[in-house]
Chains A and B, each alone.
Chain A
Amino acid sequence: MSYAVLRMTELVATTPGLFPLPDWAKAELSDRKGHQKEDLVDGDEADAVRDAYATARGEVIDAQEDAGLDRVVEGQLRWDDMLAHPLTVHDAVETRGIVRYYDNNNFYREPVVQDELDFSGDVAAELDALAELADGPTQAVLPGPYSLTDLATNEHYEGDREFLAAIAEFLAGEADAFPGVETLYLLEPSLVENAPTDDLATDLADAVTTVADAVDADVVVQPYWGALDEKTHAHLLDADVDALGYDFVSNHEENLYNINEYGTTSDVSLGLLDGQNTLVEDPETVRERVSWVHEQAVSAAFDTTYVTTNTELFYLPYAKYEAKLEALSEAVSLAEVEA
């Protein structure tokens, strides 16, 4: 059965980005930049720091190409503040205390928006560097508008709805400056971790569509750390995107329920490898999981299935991150051969 099911879909091995730095770069950059809050990336780094990031970027691009991934990301190695990065380097934003990054033992600088969020170009510059180095199809990664709003504090815009709209416009402006990419991933963990209130939920689809419309690429929205509540899932389906993501590592039952109860996009992104555990999945097991989702999702037939880790990968030691890329790529190859 799995053979027939899988034959109908194109499988794409990719990741949500935000990789760990190679160990030499961890050491070198901590020496060059320092360990304190004021030492973190501000978008205006010294040449030696830029050089170190450029070398590290080359390594993570090689790692993805060597593993045989179908999409290559820049790696977001400069994103000291993880998904809050596009704001923490912005001139209209003041960074305050160190705050917890979701329910993890990780922290980022609280970005406080104090002025109009105009064009920055920080992420586009990274993608230009990616374009120069990568041979195959590339993928951009951004925080989704809701998650970036959730991670930030607003001291400029009138209310929550205006803030969400402004963040969406800001991200659209950034995305509009991207060089050509095949795919754009919008990471939206906050949709699970801190689901939107009714007010914001009605604006969610518009905000996501605003960003998606800015690029000529396939757009994937990837929530994680559980499943969306039914209402949020329904609202998100109104957004004009190519694929929704589902974190089958942390909660396969409710994600499957959402897909079967409400249907989903014509393409789908499946988080099937654990981005936060050093246990490297057997590729054969991952292949079985791909088949399982396709078999169980009785109401859906997917044109394209992105196979990915459920979360960003910076949580892992470098060698384990590399091993995850290999397992991911191998699993997709196995599935393709059998299909």
Chain B
Amino acid sequence: MSRRDYDNGKDQFKPADHDNEHFLMTTVVGSYPKPKWLDRARELYQGGDTTKPREHQGEHAEELPDFDDDAWEEAKDDGSRLITKEHERAGLDVVVDGEMRRNEMVEFFAHRIDGYEFNGPVKVWGHNYFDKPSVVSEVEYDETWLVEEYEFTADVADRPVKVPITGPYTLANWSFNEAYEDQESLALDLADLVNEEIGKLVEAGARYIQIDEPALATTPDDHAIVGEALEHIVDDVPEDVRVGLHVCYGDYSRIYPEILEYPVDEFDLELCNGDYDQLDVFKDPAFTADLALGVVDAHVAEVETVEEIKANIRKGLEVVPPEQLVVSPDCGLKLLPREVAYEKMQNLVKAAREVEAELDAGEIQVDAAPASADD
């Protein structure tokens, strides 16, 4: 039996007061624009030099405004609460805290894993840099990564909370590898650490985990490595815990249908940015998992109208029936202005509810037939 034969479907996240018969679960990928005051708080905490924590500012630390560890923790709590509530206000069925405690998707984890070292920023494009870490010895689990973030978010949220985790393949691929024979052995070791972290998250009550693997898009030929890493990740994870995989900005024909073999319940895919030109890739063979379809563009500051988003949702129904469809933005929204990000979420929810009502009323023709892994 595969994971998908168990009852880890989206219905467990359906709000009690959901009005429609159909349920197109609405959620987000994870990251969200940080409030300006939170960026300022980080600057104060780090003494203006964003590459160094305060304790490394040496003699200059005394000249800095009084912004200590407690103040910084409180600022992050405030940010997390604010954005979690903002997600709820937009009407999302499953929320996150917008990754308010995380600075970057690789750095954040590398700081918490033994075996990593930082040597300074490297270029991504233009003057956008990141502190690409180096793996200098065998990676080992040290402190927990996300348990605190999850517990806080779950505590303030009235809706179910999803936990996005950067996947081991991306953690390996977007690091310098000084210690391992190849990327694969590093990725598999990291997968075991992700597995350990998920164990702790599940113990803390998490029921919905999303593995983010954007690096798969740059090296699609490595899809087998990602698959093997996922086997490590879900090992001993209770079957009723929903596990999703987010992939974005790639040539999907190079990874489909192979990814259907992955032990995950849901694939969260960016397709809106390319105007669904890759949609047909997923029609043959039939899409046997749940599809979390990107229906708003994360890199265009113009807010899509409800009508436009409804048309995008209907694209998803060409691939899977309503029972297998989840609605989400293409990717993390953190690069957008905050009000734009909010309006996109709001319209996304409104569009999903309207499509649900139209499905209830039989006004929408669904092309895709239900498919299961056993077909």
A-B contact count (CB 8 A): 73
Q: Is the CB of A98 within 8 A of B125?
A: yes
Interface 1/0s, chain A 297-339, versus B by CB < 8 A?
Answer: 0000000000000000011111110000000000000000000
The contact of A105 among B51, B134, B178, B218, by CB within 8 Å, is B218
User: Do A278 and B176 touch across chains, with their CB atoms under 8 A apart?
Assistant: yes
Please classify the interface of chain A as helix (H, G, I), strand (E, B), loop, or mixed, using the class held by over half of its residues: loop
> Which of B12-20, B61-69, B114-122 lines the interface with chain A?
B114-122
Whether the pair A23, B51 counts as a contact (CB closer than 8 A) is yes
Interface residue? A197 (CB, 8 A) = no
CB of A317 within 8 A of CB of B132, answer: yes
Q: Please name the residue on chain A nearest to B250 by beta carbon.
A: A100
Are A100 and B218 in contact, with the CB atoms below 8 A? yes
Q: Are A315 and B127 in contact (CB under 8 A)?
A: no
Cβ–Cβ contact A23 & B120, under 8 A: yes
Chain A residues near B128: list those with CB within 8 A. Answer: 30, 35
* A-facing residues in B113-152 (Cβ within 8 Å): 119-129, 132, 134
Give the contacts of A261-312 with B (CB-CB under 8 A). Answer: 276-279
B123 A317 Cβ-Cβ under 8 A = no
Give chain A's interface residues, CB within 8 Å of chain B.
20-21, 23, 26, 29-30, 33-37, 39-40, 80, 98, 100-101, 103-108, 276-279, 314-320
List 18 additional contacts besides A23-B121, A106-B123; criterion CB under 8 Å.
A26-B127, A26-B129, A30-B127, A30-B129, A33-B126, A39-B126, A40-B126, A80-B125, A100-B218, A104-B218, A106-B125, A277-B176, A278-B178, A279-B178, A314-B122, A315-B122, A317-B132, A320-B119
Query: Smallest CB–CB gap between A194 and chain B, Å?
Result: 13
Contacts of A20 in B (CB 8 A): 122-123
Give 30 A-B contacts (CB < 8 Å), ordered by A residue.
A20-B123, A21-B123, A23-B121, A26-B129, A29-B127, A34-B127, A37-B126, A39-B126, A39-B127, A80-B126, A98-B125, A103-B219, A104-B218, A105-B173, A105-B174, A105-B218, A106-B125, A107-B124, A277-B176, A277-B178, A278-B119, A278-B176, A278-B178, A279-B177, A314-B122, A314-B123, A315-B122, A317-B120, A317-B121, A317-B132
Give the complex CA separation of A20 and B128 in angstroms: 13
Cβ of B125 and Cβ of A107 under 8 Å apart? yes
| Residues of the B chain whose Cβ atoms lie less than 8 Å from the Cβ of A100 | 218, 249
Q: Is B298 engaged at the interface, CB distance under 8 Å to the other chain?
A: no
Q: Which residue of A lies closest to B51 (CB)?
A: A23
